[in-house]
Amino acid sequence: MRVLGIDPGYERLGIAVVEKRENKDFLIFSECFQTSKTLNFHERLLLLGNRVEEIIKTHEPSVLAIETLMFNTNQKTAMNVAEARGVVLFQAVKNGLSVLEYTPLQIKIAITGYGRSDKGQVTEMVKRLIKTEKKEMKDDEYDAIACAITCFASYKTQIIRS
């Protein structure tokens, strides 16, 4: 099974394609896709949608694993991230992917076994759980990988409940 993991954002979108083979998780692709602050918001959404569709067509995942939105104090930012999530969800469904969503708590529990883990602890566990040849990755990539790994950890349970 091949999973497209997404850490949503409109300025920085964490993207990872992870595959499970012989009970091991392999990182196929990851990036932190960034859009320029100089573009208007609608242009940024178009770029995000085009990039996600390109990755789906190139790497052919069957499932999208995406982090749910956590509302913070800045409602404008939260709304923009929600719209970016909508673009990603649209591309996933348009291209025939199953969609599974995970809260930050679910991801932390799946990766570290503890729901109050901080970003650093999640990143360190991701590094231990999956091998990569990339020397440097941004936090958004690690979050996308964590989301994909969470999908593998809970996939059978979610399919049974559906």
Q: How confident is the model at residue 161 (pLDDT cuts 50, 70, 90)?
A: very low
Is 124 a residue of the active site? no
Give the C-alpha separation, 23 to 14, whole Å. 24
Is 139 a residue of the active site? no
pTM higher than 0.75? yes
Give the C-alpha separation, 113 to 58, whole Å. 33
Q: What is the number of other CB atoms lying within 10 angstroms of the CB of residue 59?
A: 16
Name the catalytic one among 7, 25, 141, 143.
7
Closest CA to 126 of 16, 12, 23, 4: 16
Strands 98-102 and 63-67: parallel
* Confidence at residue 9, expressed as pLDDT on a 0 to 100 scale: 94
Name the catalytic one among 25, 31, 140, 143.
140
Name the catalytic one among 25, 31, 67, 141.
67
Task: Please give the average per-residue pLDDT across 21-30, as a whole number.
Answer: 92
**Where do the domains of the chain lie, and which CATH numbers do they carry?**
2-161 (3.30.420.10)
Is 140 a residue of the active site? yes
